[in-house]
Amino acid sequence: MTDYAPGQATDINPQLWTWFRAVDTDGSGQLTVDELQRALINGDWSPFNIRTVHMMINMFDADNSGTIGFSEFTSLWVYIEEWRRCFQTFDRDGSGTIDRQELTQALRAFGFNVSEKSVAFMIQKLDRGSHSIPFDSFVRTCVIFKSITDSFRAVDTDQDGYIQIGYDQFLDLVIRQI
């Protein structure tokens, strides 16, 4: 059953509601991973990577249903639009993708002390053969770096940039990112 009906609230974006209904192909009022992937498009009209879509559902599925209702979709949409503005700021050449240099600048602007090697590795893992990444991979990269950094900082109690951990604690840190 849908979590919104026309006339229910006055602050509903009618265009967003129309888009939600259009991609909710089974009419359930909840977007599955496949339906959400159809709703999320990169600047080059390619769909979001399925792993990014899964990450978005994990982040915004407030009721843990495994799907996204309209209110969750609205929150997700606002989040994505904020990231899109950020992406456009760092896509200095207007190519619609972020290259290694642009990604390094973005991550450092967000306060992440990243090496060129780490950024190059991330680009290599996420690019589609172009040595740059589209919007969805940019969002995924930033969320991953934030999550990993937050996990590291939680263990780095003296905040000196170094930690000493055992194998089980290391696995716990890594598995949380999956």
Ramachandran class of 99: left when φ > 0, alpha when ψ lies in -120 to 50, beta otherwise:
beta
Could you say which DSSP state residue 7 is in? T
Q: Contact at 8 Å (CB) between 67 and 61?
A: yes
CA torsion sign for 163, 146, 37, 60 is positive
Name the 3-class secondary structure at 62: coil
Return the CATH number of 1-90, one of 3.90.1150.200, 3.30.70.141, 1.10.238.10, 2.30.40.10: 1.10.238.10
Same fold, 1-90 and 98-178: yes
Task: Quickly name the fold that domain 98-178 has.
Answer: Recoverin; domain 1 (1.10.238)
Question: What's the mean per-residue pLDDT of the chain?
Answer: 86
Structure confidence at residue 5 as a pLDDT band (50, 70, 90): very low
| Average pLDDT value for residue range 137-154 | 86
Structure confidence at residue 101 as a pLDDT band (50, 70, 90): very high
CA distances to 28, 75, 96, 124 from 12, rounded to whole Å, are: 19, 12, 30, 40
Name the 3-class secondary structure at 31: strand
State the pTM of this model: 0.75
Greater model confidence, 130 or 28: 28
Measure the CA–CA gap between 21 and 174, rounded to whole angstroms: 37
Measure the CA–CA gap between 127 and 123, rounded to whole angstroms: 5
Residue 162 CB neighbours (<10 A): 8
| Average pLDDT value for residue range 42-64 | 87
Domain spans, the chain = 1-90, 98-178
